[in-house]
Structure 1
Amino acid sequence: MKILEIIPQLSSGGGERFVVDLCNELSKEHDVTLMVLHSLDKVDFYLKEVSNNVRVVSMNKRMGLDIGLLFRVYRYIRREKPDVVHTHLRAIMYIAFAIMRKNGVMHCHTVHSAADKEAGGSFISSGMRKFCFHHGWITPITISAESLHSFRKYYGMDAPMIFNGRNVDAGMLVSDEVKEQFKQYRHTNKTRVLISLARIDPVKRQTLLARVVMRLKREGYDLTVLFIGGERDAQMTAELRSYNDEAIQLLGELHNPLEYLKMGDAYALCSSYEGMPISLIEAIGVGCIPVCTPVGGIVDVVHNGENGFLSDGIGEESYYKTVKRFLSLTDVQLKDMKQKALATYGPFSMYECARNYVRLFEKGIKK
């Protein structure tokens, strides 16, 4: 099967992480090309992690709306004749011409977030999706039960659901360098280290997490939070830096976040909405306890009080109480919950995810 995966750029986001892993897994048995719309000269965070079996092409998109890119993508698809064209994020907007002349190609699009948020605020963006989904020109794919629910509510139709995946080696080794770093993060042998693995962004609400951590520290709790991710929002980043406290550590973008998750005690995510966070799958894959708000696909993974903790809502007070519950675990309870988090990982491997995509692709091609 000849598969063309299309994504806007290879920045350090979860969607990009997912697409690279999916391409690598699919390429073990299929002919896979990864089309990146933007130039790779400036944004290539995951480029080195793309398998040699995957062909990578850049379309050198100009900033803003690039009408010419519609034609370049169309000509590429017409020339290469893939069996499947699979888009992610905003890339769906640039296959408009290609879907008008399908020529036996299956077009599909993964909805990586809540349906209304993913559709964007513009009439063109949401209108194109609604038209193409309802007319069967593009097959939408949701990523969790909550994702499917939001899709049905927004579009008034059904869609296939495939859980996101990520291949994680639970036996991975942590480098001596990272172990050494953690000596400064664990101030005592009782310090609990929380890992926030997400771009610094209003949706992820790292400033809320920082306020919760500082409040708990003032109450006498021994904890540190490590913020790992691109500093997308300058104002939020400045606020986080303003604490100037050893309990708040900003590490920026890292290529080895799994090592930090494995060394940490909890994965802290207090987003206002989500799809199915790849970082959550990474966390359970190494036995890092999720402490999250109950949004998106998180509720399909985390069972409150068993393999992690879910707050009652997305408010600050609710999340504060949830982090406090986590901090109240004894060392024995902590170890037991880490094992339960790790045991949850099985269905979320990229191997399982890719198999489900292949089944969907094959079904679509036969139509």
Structure 2
Amino acid sequence: MNKIAHIVGDLGRGGAERFVVDLCNEFAEKPYNEVHLISLCYNNPETTFVNEISEKVNYLSFYKSPGFSLQVLVELTNWLLVQKIQIVHSHLNSLEYLMLYLFKKTETKFFHTIHSTAEAECPGFMMKSLRKSLYKRKLVTPIVVSKDGSESFRRYYGLDNDVVIENGRPFLALTKEYPNLVRKYKGNQDAFLLIHVGRIVKVKNQQLLIEAVQKFNHKEEQKCKLLIIGEVRDEALYQNLQELTKKDQFIEFLGGKDNIADYLNIADFFCLSSFYEGMPISLIEAFSVGCISICTQVGGIKNMINHQDTGFLSTDDSVDSYYQALREAIFFQDKSKIRENAKNAFRLKYHIGASEKRHSQLYNMPITSLS
């Protein structure tokens, strides 16, 4: 029996948290795995992914309050010692809570996934030095989610022992809301339907997307309808975006949604205009249903999309560049080819089963061979 623990700060509705839940669920489908998902903080069922954890996964929260907690560090260490976990895999800001356990004499293998750029995830000098020491001494195996993430890791830490394993998602299921959405957004409307999925935060750069869509609608006869799906994390930014769109009938903010598959299946295009992305789960979801993607050429996105093959990329992060990419995608002749190529890429590379297989292979390598 393989005893595996994945540790994360919380299960808020972000891409990394989404992936951790999916990966644990996939691991738990194997009868030879005993899977534990550890959240340092409490997770509200209404605002997190906690309800999507499989019954086959052992879930535990330490109810940590904001800020560093010595008590949680000790409690987690004691729990790991009692459980005799063989594989400990941390994510985001949870690695430092393994410091006591790391230096115990156990047979445990340690892994940590960097879901963003190395510098964005660990900006402080002290934490950077600590993590670099752990990676360099092969106490922790660093995993990155894209080639761009690997370049970031090697540049930031001056090391070359990272392992690239792409994110993944299971196939998405439609819900009972799908027919209603078809009637509402596809019934009598002749506008192209665009879907954006992302929290309202600066890095997602929704203003660029909005201005590019407004430029398209100003110049073109047939219009675009943009639906922006995502929770508000930056209230000031949200108010600015509301001001930008207050008289625009073609742009709607829908807030967070659980039925993303319904929206992606009715959409003509999926749009991301971010300043940076690691390997966006929302883009993987778009691939899974063959929704044509139009994105800025940043982070792991440029490793996923081949222009005019699996989607479309803007040449830079200017409004005009994104408008040109939008126009190119909308008037592209062979859209069916793009849709099929995206779905094939998902099946081969971005399904959660492929990610689970790569992780299992890495976990089972001898410690002396890791990194």
Pick the TM interval, shorter chain.
over 0.9
In the TM superposition, residue 328 of structure 1 has moved relative to its aligned partner by 2.0
Aligned to 2:149: 147
Counterpart check, 1:294 vs 2:297:
yes
In the TM superposition, residue 86 of structure 1 has moved relative to its aligned partner by 0.3
Aligned to 1:14: 15
Is the deviation greater in 33-42 or in 74-83?
A: 33-42
Hey, what's the Cα distance between the residues in 2 that align with 1:88 and 1:351? 19
User: Is the CA contact 1:3–1:33 (under 8 Å) kept in the aligned structure 2?
Assistant: yes
Aligned to 2:212: 212
Deviation string 1:323-347 (CA, Å, 9 cap, x unpaired) is 12122235xx333322222222121
Deviation string 1:186-234 (CA, Å, 9 cap, x unpaired) is 4855311111111111111011111111121122341111111111111
Aligned to 2:26: 25
Query: AA paired with 2:192?
Result: R
Hey, what's the Cα distance between the residues in 2 that align with 1:134 and 1:127? 10
User: Is the CA contact 1:106–1:364 (under 8 Å) kept in the aligned structure 2?
Assistant: no
Aligned to 2:272: 269
In the TM superposition, residue 365 of structure 1 has moved relative to its aligned partner by 5.3
Inter-CA distance 366–127: structure 2 relative to 1 (3 Å threshold)? closer
In the TM superposition, residue 44 of structure 1 has moved relative to its aligned partner by 5.3
In the TM superposition, residue 258 of structure 1 has moved relative to its aligned partner by 1.5
User: Is the CA contact 2:12–2:43 (under 8 Å) kept in the aligned structure 1?
Assistant: no
Counterpart check, 1:132 vs 2:126:
no
Hey, what's the Cα distance between the residues in 2 that align with 1:235 and 1:41? 24
Of residues 324, 328, 346, the one that matches 2:327 is 324
Aligned to 2:257: 254
User: Is the CA contact 1:109–1:140 (under 8 Å) kept in the aligned structure 2?
Assistant: yes
Other structure's SS at 1:107 match: strand
Aligned to 2:199: 199
Query: AA paired with 2:27?
Result: L
Hey, what's the Cα distance between the residues in 2 that align with 1:366 and 1:309? 42
How many positions carry a matched residue from both structures? 361
Aligned to 1:58: 61
User: Is the CA contact 1:83–1:365 (under 8 Å) kept in the aligned structure 2?
Assistant: no
Aligned to 1:344: 345
In the TM superposition, residue 180 of structure 1 has moved relative to its aligned partner by 2.5
Of residues 27, 35, 38, the one that matches 1:35 is 38
Is the deviation greater in 240-249 or in 347-356?
A: 240-249
In the TM superposition, residue 129 of structure 1 has moved relative to its aligned partner by 1.5
Hey, what's the Cα distance between the residues in 2 that align with 1:128 and 1:185? 51
Inter-CA distance 340–190: structure 2 relative to 1 (3 Å threshold)? farther
Hey, what's the Cα distance between the residues in 2 that align with 1:326 and 1:39? 42
In the TM superposition, residue 246 of structure 1 has moved relative to its aligned partner by 2.3
User: Is the CA contact 2:111–2:143 (under 8 Å) kept in the aligned structure 1?
Assistant: yes
Aligned to 2:356: 354
Inter-CA distance 194–102: structure 2 relative to 1 (3 Å threshold)? farther
Unpaired runs of at least 5, structure 1: none
Hey, what's the Cα distance between the residues in 1 that align with 2:153 and 2:332? 37
Hey, what's the Cα distance between the residues in 2 that align with 1:206 and 1:71? 41
Residues 86-165 of structure 1: pairs in structure 2 closer than 5 A: 86-119=89-122, 121-158=123-160, 159-165=162-168
Inter-CA distance 179–214: structure 2 relative to 1 (3 Å threshold)? farther
